[in-house]
Amino acid sequence: MPIRVAVDAMGGDHAPKVVVEAASNVSSQHGDDIQILLVGSDEAIGSLSGTDSGALEVVEAPQVIEMDESPAAALKQKPRSSIHTGLGLVKSGDADAFASAGNTGAVMAASLFILGRLPGVSRPAILGVYPTLSGFCYVIDVGANVDCKPEHLVQFADMASIYVERVVKKERPTVGLLSVGEERTKGNEVTKEAYGLLEADPSLNFIGNIEGRDVMEHAADIVVCDGFVGNVILKLGESIATVIPQLIGREMKRQSLGEDAQKLVGGVLRGVNKSFDYEEYGGMPLLGVSGTVFIGHGGSSVRAIENMILAAANVAKRNVTGSIQQALGAAAES
């Protein structure tokens, strides 16, 4: 039976056109394994020209939560939005996952309201991907919780470990706590207390504190921090992909490099930049809610949304949500 992914057709800066095109591409290439439920306005989707939306199942959602709207206000005022409707399909069991490149705050708020937290989870968190010298590491949280308690950081580590084990297929991934020094006494009060709690958790492969300069060295498979810090380093990584090419371009011009040399350098640079390209992984999972939810970049292209849909289907297929519920629910009862 195919995995059913509800896709927010109205979410993102370039919706619905790029979303419908991405959904059509995934459906044509993976139709035997993935069934897409395109959630949005029939009128807006049907008005698109040059896009094959006829093969997709459309679920009507007449309201749209705009990118700049207040999540709290939108949650109350637009109960028939594409975000509400898509998450409702997951809640009712008519979809296995929901993916949206729309208003991040609205997706998080609606996920909590409609799906709720998993038993034993205090704070759902967003898991981000970060390039390193040895592939990728996973940073949690990257924006859902700007203020955290030590026990929240431990839960983030538990959820991320389950995700990496089941999705990335890496047994006993290493966990590092992001701080201002490697010593356990370094950091603010939250990180110092969290260190002891992480160390005492037998389910974690905790290696201690790591510093910001260690992240891209792949000092740990999973980097744990609050959402304020995590969001800063995630966006810093995104900026590298745009700033470094500009700096190298200026330097090549300053050194008056020939056309052949510039092409050679440009080819190398494109290869490196691919690691920083969010379109490669498409979206980020919201872990800790009672369902599979993926959040994409507002400026997502067709390729980014395709990859987000594929990632959401993969996570749903591997029942990451169920594994987190089993692990943290059991811990809460003990």
CB-count exposure of residue 138 (10 Å: 0-12, 13-18, 19+): buried
Q: What is the three-class DSSP state of 328?
A: helix
Q: What are phi and psi of 47, to 5 degrees?
A: -80, -10
- The ranges assigned to domains in the chain are 1-119+288-319, 122-281
* Helices and strands counted in the chain (H then E): 11, 11
CB-count exposure of residue 311 (10 Å: 0-12, 13-18, 19+): buried
Token look-up 């419908």 returns 20
Kindly state the tokens that stand for 318. 């591997």
Confidence of residue 327 (pLDDT cuts 50, 70, 90): confident
Longest pairwise C-alpha distance within the chain: 68
pLDDT higher than threshold 70 for residue 185:
yes
Instruction: Please list, in sequence order, all residues whose beta carbon lies within 8 angstroms of the beta carbon of residue 52, skipping any fewer than 6 positions away.
Output: 24, 28
Class of domain 1-119+288-319: alpha beta
pLDDT higher than threshold 60 for residue 59:
yes
For residue 10, which of 22, 19, 1, 23 has the smallest C-alpha distance?
19
pLDDT reported for residue 171: 94
pLDDT reported for residue 332: 56
pLDDT reported for residue 331: 60
What kind of fold does domain 122-281 have according to CATH?
Isopropylmalate Dehydrogenase (3.40.718)
Assess contact for 141 and 125: CB atoms under 8 A.
yes
Instruction: Return mean pLDDT, the chain.
Output: 91
pLDDT reported for residue 330: 62
pLDDT higher than threshold 80 for residue 279:
no
pLDDT higher than threshold 60 for residue 50:
no
Q: Are strands 174-178 and 135-140 parallel, antiparallel or unpaired?
A: unpaired
Confidence of residue 52 (pLDDT cuts 50, 70, 90): low
